[in-house]
């Protein structure tokens, strides 16, 4: 069961999670990260590293955010792998915890 990056990552894009991933399954977009479900080995290392609490096991994705399962699979095929921690987006703290951020997603 792979892990899934959900809504709260949008416009935050903390990358603490990518450095602990042993299989390099994270992919980076302009303002969001995704996990490649085919590469994820369910090691659980990334989930506690996310300051925005945006990473969930696929079976535990919050109600209403199930679409992020398919979105992670789709975008992981388009975006490059990220393995090194970077600074979060400049206004990440302002966006952390906001809902309804899907329209903010940049592809």
The CATH number covering residue 67 comes to 3.30.70.20
pTM of the predicted protein model:
0.97
CA proximity to 9, closest of 92, 69, 91, 65: 92
User: How far is the first Cα of the chain from the last one, in angstroms, to the nearest whole number?
Assistant: 25
Domains of the chain: total: 1
Confidence at residue 1, expressed as pLDDT on a 0 to 100 scale: 83
**Tens digit of pLDDT for each residue in 29-74?**
999 999 999 999 999 999 999 999 999 999 999 999 999 999 999 9
Range of the domain at 33: 3-85
97 lies in a domain? no
- Per the prediction, the chain carries an average pLDDT of 97
Cβ contact 15:85 at 8 Å: yes
32 lies in a domain? yes
**Percent of the chain residues topping a pLDDT of 70:** 100
């Amino acid at each position: 069961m792979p892990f899934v990056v959900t809504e709260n990552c949008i416009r935050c894009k903390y990358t603490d999670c990518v450095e602990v991933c042993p299989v390099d399954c994270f992919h980076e977009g302009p303002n969001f990260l995704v996990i490649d479900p085919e590469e994820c080995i369910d090691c659980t290392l990334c989930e506690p590293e996310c300051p925005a609490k945006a990473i969930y096991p696929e079976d535990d994705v919050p109600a209403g955010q199930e679409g992020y399962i398919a979105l992670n699979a789709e975008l992981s095929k388009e975006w490059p792998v990220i393995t090194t921690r970077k600074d979060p987006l400049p206004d990440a703290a302002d966006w952390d915890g906001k809902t309804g951020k899907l329209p903010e997603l940049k592809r």
